A and B are shown apart, each in its own frame.
Chain A
Amino acid sequence: MEINTMITIRNLEKRFPVGKDEFIALRDINLVFGAGEFAGLIGPSGSGKTTLLNILGSLDVPSSGEAVVLGYSIGNLNAKQAAKLRKEKLGFIFQSYNLLAVHTVFENVEFPLLLLNIPKDERNRMVMDALEWVGLTGKVRSKPPQLSGGECQRVAIARAMVKKPSLVLADEPTANLDAANSHHILKTMETLNRELKTTFIFATHDDKVISYLRRKIFLLDGRVDKDEVISAR
């Protein structure tokens, strides 16, 4: 069990200053995520799910307590180390895709590999592999404005997965998609999770996403309200 532990959160608290007072976004969070999990942080707006996702993605730091992601204590990382962690180990999927509009599908997926200075031949192979996972090898030269919303999100998934990160963080990935596209995306991510053993953590309140999760962590007012593991899926 210890060997497979990817994330350990202990007594985590996150406070934001609001005028002279403080708003406590997260309090007393204790969680452990193992490798290959397909888990979701579920809760209404303001429950703290995006804040927790930010901390796990080294985009923010805890006010107190500890979050250890892939062996790195997030609170102790400087900006450069945090960027390195994101570059090498983490993938992000956003609600509104956030693709670079002037670059082709191939170039968008290639971008994380450029940051890692991977040689061209290997890069090309990895990009084509990633596009094959999401079924977009026929759209290599297309640009984001020429794609549907579902296709854009599949490109975003390929971009997040191309470097085979240990952990993918997805913030409301289906919020801009219709039901058919949402299921397509979720099935793609579920397949990648199974085949590549990549850990997926979602922040969501979308029932369609929730129905695919194998672990559901319900947040309410910054606390873990319930932590359910569904082993049947």
Chain B
Amino acid sequence: MIKFLIKGLIRDKSRSRLPIIVVTIGVALTVLMHAYITGFMGDTVEMNAKFTNGHVKVMTSAYAENMSQLPNDLALLEAGKHLEELRRRYPDFEWTARIQFGGLVDVPDSIGETRSQGPAIGIGVDLLSANTGEPERLNLKKSLVKGNLPVRPGEILLSDAFATKLQVVPGDRITLIGSTMNGSMAMHNFVVSGTVSFGIELLDRGTLVADVEDVRLALDMPDAAGELLGYSAGGFYDDDHTLAMADDFNASYKDSDDAYAPVMKGLSQQGNMGMYVQMSKVWSAYISLVFVFAMSLVLWNAGLLGGLRRYGEIGIRLAMGEEKGHVYRTMIYESVFIGLAGSLTGTALGLFFAWLIQTYGIDISGMMKGASVMMPTTIRARITPMDFYLGFIPGLISTVTGTMLSGIGIYKRQTAMLFKELEA
């Protein structure tokens, strides 16, 4: 009997191949859409984490209160000692010192007169120490447009658009004019080693990237750092985990009334990033839910129609003496098979396309011109564990539910009408 049913299932393309194709497409779209939304939302969060916020950030309490003003006069002293302690307490995070600063870039001509000038924001990052992960984290190598990365003290990177505006090429000297940690005027010369384009409109307008030791020297901040950033070893931001870690760290200093005592803040506790993280979670869940629901309806109907289409065949089987319960069960088994086959194929297909988008990305730089938020110009999907089972909700559950509902017709069906129906 089972062989008979399997033969029927395989030979009747509209009962096997077509439903499997429909389920496969539905599941693949669900998986792909979820990975895409997760990646899109997560990319923006990660981008902010890499350039400014870290997954967690340690700074002085006073600095934290005025964080948006980048108050380096409130920077953390003995940064090296703090970094060591953080590495010891939280070894599953990578820790690094950063100094964010603002200033004016002056480009002198051959006789030292100002040739061009422009305001800039700068980041002091660890570029030169052994085993530093910063150039990779900021994707500096791939972002390089001209020249090369700094390899010795005194070298600096400029965003390519800014360099073009200032008419600067690698090898030129520039002067950074800013203020020291103590509030006095700072002037420091750098050699431009190269230009970079991050693909982030906000950064590409006017950014400097220099080694943190050079920035310390320029701004008179020996062993100080505005911020100590922590990045989870897995590379992805986990809000719950980082907030718990911040609570743990801050508990050590809860009784301190020192304005310069360190404080740790998770990414979602910094500025409006909390709102963005929440929004990205909610929207990601909402969009995925709507899509899963829509796909569920489609596949539910496919299951329903598949059952109704077989009304005649089921009528014959009932007339031949097959019990209703047996007919119903075989229909369910078939839909489980179709749902499983379609869900497995669809999940594999969806993951494949998601992997392609995760690896190669979709370039949206054309749409990002003039953007004032830090968003990536390449959208990438992000495959999460959920993508491995999410598709089974519409693929398996909805297909089987649709069949179960249409199968109820078997129980409700009056056998007395069989002759009449089968004559139709």
By a beta-carbon cutoff of 8 Å, the part of chain A in contact with chain B is 50, 53-54, 57, 59-60, 79-80, 82-88, 90, 92, 94-96, 98, 100-103, 107, 110-112, 114-115, 171-172
Contact = CB atoms under 8 A, between A and B. Distances in A.
A61 to B, nearest CB: 8
Q: Is the interface of B mostly helix, strand, loop or mixed?
A: helix
A83 B416 contact: no
A80 B74 CA distance: 85
B312 interface: yes
Contact of A103 (B7, B323, B414, B422): B7
B415 A53 contact: no
Nearest to B4: A114
Given A103-B8, A172-B423, A98 B316 contact: yes
Contacts of A110: 4
B420 interface: yes
Q: Is the interface of A mostly helix, strand, loop or mixed?
A: helix
Nearest to A171: B419
A90 B322 CA distance: 12
B306 to A, nearest CB: 14
Contacts, number: 79
Contacts of A171: 419, 423
Given A60-B415, A110-B4, 17 more contacts: A50-B419, A57-B419, A59-B415, A59-B416, A59-B419, A79-B415, A80-B323, A83-B324, A84-B321, A85-B321, A87-B320, A94-B423, A103-B7, A112-B321, A114-B4, A115-B1, A115-B321
A100 B321 contact: no
14 contacts: A54-B416, A59-B418, A82-B415, A83-B323, A86-B320, A86-B321, A87-B321, A94-B422, A95-B423, A102-B11, A107-B4, A107-B7, A110-B4, A115-B321
B272 to A, nearest CB: 62
A96 B418 CA distance: 12
A196 B416 CA distance: 28
Contacts of A59: 319, 415-416, 418-419
B: contact size bracket = 20 to 34
Interface string B1-22: 1001001100110000000000
A136 B181 CA distance: 102
B311 to A, nearest CB: 12
B20 to A, nearest CB: 16
A214 B422 CA distance: 27
A160 to B, nearest CB: 9
B390 to A, nearest CB: 34
B313 interface: yes
Contacts of A80: 323
Contact of A92 (B12, B320, B322, B420): B320
B319 A96 contact: no
Closest 7 pairs (CB-CB, A-B): A87-B321, A60-B416, A86-B321, A102-B11, A102-B12, A59-B415, A114-B1
A95 B422 CA distance: 8
Given A82-B415, A114-B4, A115-B1, A50 B320 contact: no
Given A82-B415, A100-B313, A111 B320 contact: yes
Nearest to B318: A83
